[in-house]
Each structure stands twice: as C-alpha cells, then as structure tokens.
Amino acid sequence: MPAKTKYELPLGAATREAFGKALVELGRENPNVVALDADLSKSTYTAAFAKEFPGRFVECGIAEANMIAIGAGLASSGKIPFAASFSVFAMNKGFEQLRVTAAYPNVNLKVVGTHSGISIGEDGPSQMSVEDLSLACSLPGFTVLCPADETAMIELVKLAAAHVGPVFIRAGRPKVAKIYEAGRQFKIGESIELVEGSDVTLIATGLLVAESIRAAEALESEGISARVIDFPTIKPLDREAIARAARETGAIVVAEEHLVDGGLGVRVAQAVAEMHPAPMEFVGIQNTYAESGTPEQLLDKYGLLARDVAAAARRVLKRKR
C-alpha cells in the first residue's frame, strides 16, 4: 500500500472502469454515440454500454485492425464511435488502419486503449503497452489523452466526444489514487498544477501523477520545493506551462509509465529545448520490456515509484547547481 501523504490520495476506481461509466452516460445523452470492442468488453467495461444499447454496439471479435476500420467508417457516416481494446492490441494491431482510415482522412474516431503500461501485471509483456503514447502522438491530427484518475477519465471522455477529430485515450487496469474531486473541470491541451514548488518541477501523467505527488512530499521533508504538474493531455502539449516551469524552477523531471524513448518525456524535452533549455531527468521504462508479476512488484522493479521520482529530482538538482 502507498505511504500516507498529507495530500490525501485514497484509492479510487480504475480508469478503465471510469471509461465504461462515462460511455454509458454519453450514450444516454447522445444517440450518435456508438461503441466497438474486440472481444474484451468485460475487461474494457464497454459491456455495460452493450447491455443498455445493443443496437449501437459492434462486437468485432479478436480483430482490432478491422475494429478500427469499422469505427472510422461509422465516424465517416456521422456517428461518434468509441473503439476499445487493450491498448497494446488497439495501437499495435490497428496502427495501419489508424494511420490510413482515421488520421489521414481526419475522421471523428475515438480510440480507448485499456490495460496500458506494465501495471497490467501478471499478463506479461505481450499484453503490456509501453509504446502506445508515442505511436498515438506520431499520428497527425490525433489528440492524445492520459487521465490520472477516475474523475479525469470521466471528464476527458466527455471532452473527447465533443471534440471533432480523432482521439486516443489511455486507460489502465488497476485501481488508482483519487487525485481530483468529482466534477473537476478539464480542458484539452491544458495541464493542471497540483503542488506548488520553486526548486524543481515534476511533470507526470497517468499512474505516475500520484507517485509524483508523494515524491514532492518526500522532497519537502528534505527542504526541496517540488512543483507537480499533471499532463492529462499529451497532444496537444501545454507548452506554456512547460516554459514557465523551466523558467521558474530551472529543472524538470518527467515521469510516465511508458518507454522513455517516446511519450510525454520526449515531447516535453523538445519543448524545453525550443523555449527555455534546462536540465531534465526522465522516469519511465528504460529500453526494456517488463516481466510478469504483480503491478506492485513491476512498478518497484522498473523504477516507477515515488522514491524513483524523488531520486531523479535530486539528480537534476545537482546538475542545476
């Protein structure tokens, strides 16, 4: 269990579960919302939508490439399709269709990848999507979202439905800490500063947001003031917040449950290099695939805990000085 924190991070629902809840709510509000799945509806939580709206649900079987193409066709006909599967299958098996049938024609398709990262746990590396953010960001015109908790997921699903254009939303398997109160407002392209700080900035997304908050508390006990910023939008990037962080704190750590050779860290580094160069460190998966194990064991072994974020902050501060 995570250590107690003054920032109060009780355990909440999994983001995949929150997605399923938000999808049903959308379905009740808008008859144009439809859903597609690839024989994983109980795991992605689209099963509830299928039960309530059977005529607006397409079971595509174990065929993510076909699912993406069908979803793109539905988008072209005026529907608002949400195509869901494990992230590793949706992005890797469906990438050509994402490129040709969704990104190139810029259709209004929403793709939700669940069970992202290594926190899927015992299912092992074949099921672990550690490249999905970089793949999604490489698609021109795509908006890429990575919510940190259930509230963020619910609100971002609503924003994705209202946004005209292709969207990828990253969701995880395990229950996650509650960061936000219900009803918190979000905006595509905007980050959220969660903890004020002046010595170093911890930029995080998804599962690593809670770990960064815990890292900031540990650093505070050492006299280090760490700013924590959640980036629920990976693309388009909140460049203004990055420039301000680099200028005001002079050192940045980026933390994500993703390969460091892509994803949020690379995008932040590009923005820092262009606008206000500053020393940086990167907490993520280091050029490897993970083993099978419990989520807790894997996050520990591959360095994705608060202690690892705090250690990166100490390293970057040495370079800052």
3-state secondary structure 7-51: CCCCEEEEHHHHHHHHHHHHHHHCCCEEEEECCCHHHHCCHHHHH
Instruction: Give yes or no: residues 111 and 231 share one domain.
Output: no
Residues 144 and 219 in one domain: no
Alpha helices in 163-255 (DSSP H): 208-220, 239-249
* 257 belongs to the catalytic site: no
pLDDT at 2: 35
Tell me which residue range forms the domain holding 200: 192-320
User: Residues 253, 170: one domain?
Assistant: no
Last residue of a domain, one of 148, 177, 206: 177
Q: What is the pLDDT of residues 224-272, one digit of tens each?
A: 999 999 999 999 999 999 999 999 999 999 999 999 999 999 999 999 9
Q: Which of 64, 150, 211, 256 is catalytic?
A: 64
Question: Is 164 within a domain?
Answer: yes
pLDDT at 6 (0 to 100): 65
In a domain, 4, yes or no: no
Q: How many CB atoms sit inside 10 A of residue 270's CB?
A: 13
User: To the nearest whole number, what is the mean pLDDT of the chain?
Assistant: 96
Residue 240 phi, psi (nearest 5) = -65, -45
Place of tokens 């995008």: 267
Are 143 and 66 within one domain?
Answer: yes
Q: pLDDT tens digits for 135-189?
A: 999 999 999 999 999 999 999 999 999 999 999 999 999 999 999 999 899 999 9
Residue 211 is assigned to a structural domain of this protein:
yes
Write the DSSP assignment of 246-267 as a string of letters: HHHHS-EEEEEEEESSSSHHHH
| Domain termination residue (choose one: 146, 177, 208) | 177
pLDDT of residue 143: 98
Do 196 and 154 reside in the same domain of the chain?
no
Number of folded domains in the chain?
2
- Say yes or no: 115 and 157 in one domain: yes
159 with 205, same domain: the answer is no
pLDDT value of position 8: 73
Is there a single domain that holds both residue 233 and residue 316?
yes
Same domain? For 126 and 254 the reply is no
The single residue listed with the structure tokens 């597609």 is 36
> C-alpha distances in angstroms, 284 versus 112, 119, 141, 262, 320?
22, 12, 26, 10, 21
**Does residue 196 belong to any structural domain of this protein?**
yes
The whole model's pTM is what?
A: 0.96
Residue 4 is predicted with a pLDDT of 40
Hey, what are 267's tokens?
């995008």
Residue 173 sits in the same domain as residue 255:
no
What are the tens digits of pLDDT across the range 115-139? 999 999 999 999 999 999 999 999 9
Q: Are strands 200-204 and 226-230 parallel, antiparallel or unpaired?
A: parallel
CATH number at residue 169: 3.40.50.970
**Which of 177, 201, 227 is the C-terminal boundary of a domain?**
177
143 lies in the same domain as 213:
no
CATH number at residue 308: 3.40.50.920
Same domain, 117 and 241: no
Q: pLDDT, tens digit, for every residue of 27-40?
A: 999 999 999 999 99
Q: Which helix (H) or strand (E) holds 152?
A: helix 150-162
* Residue 253, beta-bridge partner list: 202, 281
